[in-house]
Chains A and B, each alone.
Chain A
């Protein structure tokens, strides 16, 4: 599984021998690879006007390109805001609620993200093909797809330790611009152009996986909520800045503490564990039918819905599994 950003083909259909060689050497003789472009075919084409574009077929003969449009940026932010507003509106009738849930399109984005990740996973697992994922910048929807695909495929990413590693690798070090994306409160109305809840979308998708495979993730909802909180405002330096370079310039490692160090302390760690977890060596294929994708109540209704009964249930589960 590879990731990159878009090739700078531009309006003049530039080529780059080095790039072609890299992608060429990755594949064996006669082997086929897939490029999953997280933009629509049209958007990708239009990107040429701005100097970007897609890999021309002729130059990359062994690679087959698939387009899966995933929302990002402002439209994603607005989708999220609409949903949050719908959740908080007490005056809605049931019809209006469903209409606004639908109108927010948020669940559609969750479905699309999971589908694309599954597609990538399928290429790797069932087709034994290599996959290259990129969008425009390679810092948003790209990471969403690669991180989810790994969760689906690789059981080691589903352990608490492994999941932290996945986040470090596929989000933090890969250069998701946390500072730009999470500069202000997620549902704030005063939004910068660069703000978008991509990371939250990822966490939502992870939650969906956990709901469909409740025994297969070593961590629970509590961890996902904690990660969300820390991405926006944190006592730790893990999610600071936009990339490794900035972190290095700011001397983040010398001047702050790591979130992981805190999480992994025994007295903290157990709060985040899923008592039902059992190592599952197999690939977990989620269903992406609409019936299977549900509103992440623990997040969206976090401050709206009384959680007492569900917490009691969680406590009961712990008690059953771990003993009195």
Chain B
């Protein structure tokens, strides 16, 4: 609390990002973990909570007649524009926030004070939800070709790797250690994914320290061992995910890539994915496009093209497709690396795994995938996502890109994933929020030293508890789309990549479809299930009554028109339908804001919600579409729903109460 100069400022205005005309007045609070804006006004004391961890940048703008503007940009793409009446106060808030948003010690982070009131047992259980040993066993290892190695048990070989890695049977400790000395950051080749159907595997490492001509027997033996672990193929692919030029430049620094002449039976392949600096700039440019006021279609498309963002997403996807193909269709093992093997390598391995194995498309499987390829293999969460104040050049949206690849795939294969878009968005949110301990630090070693599991809570347990919110109603595990390998279309396919407004314009409700098909279908599914259960019960009763009288009436009432029951679900529009400013000429029109009238552009996290810690918006969108709000799922299957079609008044009443 010592960093907070001004814990409270009154008469602050929160502007609608798109229209300065729509501003609400309220009080700004600074706490140890959050910035909170509470709207004045007796009816709705709407609150906007922002975690300090989420703050990406704070900009103090030139003082105007109305006050001193402060622009807060968040890592989850929320943008908050405040106007503080006194310049002095604004300055104090600014200085405080700058410090609060750049913590120096891990203990300052929210996860160490977050308390969802679970007992010790539940907390521990939460951490056990995802078990990587189970996962490797599920894949089919250890087996005749692959073994666990504990050579890194004290992180003595590689401090960014986990204590347990899977290596080919013929890779002795000597080979592993030797190979690790020839790899950048000592990240030697280790198993990422094993395909038990054909013994092909995906292995990952960092770049070899080959320079122009250096060789290492053990490293060459390591690659041979990988090849031998797949008797079905006489060579392996080595995929370098960097652009060729970058890889070649690395040679001058004593690093580089594998020479096909030196490594027997490898086929080398460059797949040019740009580095973290390019990606950071690309995102920056795309966000600038998102912040444009009243862009034309051209402004937007040109800006999007200029950022190069979709091009990068496609590059990652293409790499994943190549590897998935090599494994599934050719039955050839692949060794993937980039420079340090913790960014592009992680992206590409996880995309490939997702394409190959339907398990990773289930909710649990996806959590496992992230734990495996990102958390355990030492992706530098702290550096990349700024848990603590650090080098801005290390910051890069690496996992964001992976998450977007998943979304792009979900759009192409709507039935193939057990989870929905909201799941992805919440995961992204919490990677930056530091509310849970999963994504802290840069390696397993650091997390164990900090005793993360003893001192914080697991995001996975939290998401799992709320999994009903994250289900994809179109998913069926026995569906053709959810079986086997996914084959995204390749060339021409540029048009398949869409701008993800659900993520990058997340807080601008008006931009998104105003009616959520997912929520509607989930409600239908639930209702159907309930009705089916009831039907069973009633049929039983009917059978019992068969002897005495005909009890048909009750059964018939089940067949009421289901569409009428769902009339309420379309009632969103009372709030959702505020028109934008379609014309500058008509001054009396509501000002340009796709976000409807109220809550939508801001985050609602009241003190109560905090315990369940679910960010926000998705809750809002449910309210708008009128689905989640209507918890009238009474056993009688519709007791509190109006008997005729969408009674407008009752719908609006529901909304205003929310």
Contact = CB atoms under 8 A, between A and B. Distances in A.
A280 B573 contact: yes
Contacts of B308: 95
Nearest to B489: A306
Interface in A6-27: none
Interface in A260-312: 276, 278-285, 287-295, 297, 300-301, 304-306, 309-310, 312
B295 A287 contact: no
A94 B492 CA distance: 10
Given A317-B474, A320-B528, A216 B570 contact: yes
Given A214-B513, A214-B515, A285-B578, A278 B479 contact: no
B144 interface: no
Given A287-B511, A288-B582, A313 B296 contact: no
B298 A282 contact: no
Q: How large is the interface on A (under 10, 10 to 19, 20 to 34, 35 or more residues)?
A: 35 or more
16 contacts: A92-B494, A98-B310, A102-B305, A107-B301, A108-B298, A122-B579, A211-B513, A215-B515, A279-B645, A281-B648, A289-B511, A289-B580, A291-B511, A292-B501, A309-B414, A309-B481
A93 B297 contact: no
Interface string A43-81: 000000000000000000000101000000000000000
A290 B480 contact: no
A283 B578 CA distance: 9
Nearest to A86: B495
Contacts of A94: 310-311, 314, 494, 497
A252 interface: no
Nearest to A212: B513
A287 B520 CA distance: 21
B253 to A, nearest CB: 30
B646 A278 contact: yes
A103 B51 CA distance: 41
Contacts of A88: 492
A216 B310 CA distance: 31
Contact of A290 (B299, B413, B573): B299
**Chain A to chain B: the 8 pairs with minimum beta-carbon distance, closest first:** A290-B300, A98-B305, A102-B301, A313-B414, A97-B494, A108-B297, A94-B311, A90-B492
B246 interface: no
A276 B583 CA distance: 32
B560 interface: no
A320 B525 contact: yes
A297 B585 CA distance: 34
Most chain A Cβ neighbours within 10 Å, of B301, B521, B567: B301
B412 interface: yes
B517 A276 contact: yes
Contact of B304 (A98, A108, A126, A305): A98
B298 to A, nearest CB: 6
B588 interface: yes
B386 interface: no
Interface in B423-437: none
Interface of A: 64, 66, 87-90, 92-95, 97-99, 101-102, 105, 107-108, 110-111, 115-116, 118-119, 121-123, 126-127, 211-216, 276, 278-285, 287-295, 297, 300-301, 304-306, 309-310, 312-313, 316-317, 320-321, 323
A57 B375 CA distance: 70
Nearest to B500: A291
Given A88-B492, A276-B520, A309-B414, A291 B505 contact: yes
B422 to A, nearest CB: 16
B542 interface: no
Contacts of A278: 563, 566-567, 569-570, 645-646
B499 A291 contact: yes
B480 A312 contact: yes
Contact of A291 (B474, B494, B501, B567): B501
A92 B209 CA distance: 36
A305 B295 CA distance: 29
Contacts of B489: 305-306
A111 B68 CA distance: 35
A216 B569 CA distance: 11
A320 B511 contact: no
Most chain B Cβ neighbours within 10 Å, of A93, A121, A321: A321
B577 interface: yes
Interface in B285-335: 290, 295-302, 304-305, 308, 310-311, 314
B491 interface: yes
Contact of B415 (A105, A108, A115, A313): A313
A285 B190 CA distance: 54
Interface string B627-658: 00000000000000000011010000000000
A276 B518 CA distance: 11
Contacts of A300: 495
Given A94-B311, A99-B305, A291-B300, 18 more contacts: A88-B492, A92-B494, A118-B579, A122-B589, A212-B514, A215-B517, A216-B573, A276-B521, A279-B646, A280-B570, A281-B648, A284-B573, A287-B594, A293-B297, A305-B489, A309-B416, A312-B414, A323-B528
B586 A122 contact: yes
B162 interface: no
B510 interface: yes
A215 B413 CA distance: 21
Contacts of B520: 215, 276
B574 interface: yes
Interface in B535-589: 562-563, 566-567, 569-570, 573-574, 577-580, 582-583, 585-586, 588-589
Given A102-B298, A214-B515, A317-B474, A118 B580 contact: yes
Nearest to B473: A320
B473 A287 contact: no
B298 A312 contact: no
Interface in B595-646: 645-646
Contacts of B646: 278-281
A321 B524 contact: yes
Contacts of B577: 282-285
Contacts of B296: 108, 111, 290
Contacts of A122: 579, 582-583, 586, 589
Most chain B Cβ neighbours within 10 Å, of A110, A126, A280: A280
Most chain B Cβ neighbours within 10 Å, of A98, A110, A119, A276: A98
A123 B585 CA distance: 11
A75 B528 CA distance: 51
Nearest to A89: B492
Contact of B297 (A97, A111, A301): A111
B517 A309 contact: no
B496 interface: yes
A247 B580 CA distance: 41
B267 interface: no
Most chain B Cβ neighbours within 10 Å, of A89, A97, A123, A305: A97
B153 interface: no
A321 B474 CA distance: 11
A33 to B, nearest CB: 13
Nearest to A107: B297
A64 B520 CA distance: 43
A293 B499 CA distance: 11
Contacts of B305: 95, 98-99, 102
B301 A279 contact: no
Contact of B585 (A66, A280, A287): A66
A219 to B, nearest CB: 15
B105 interface: no
Nearest to B509: A287
Contacts of A293: 297
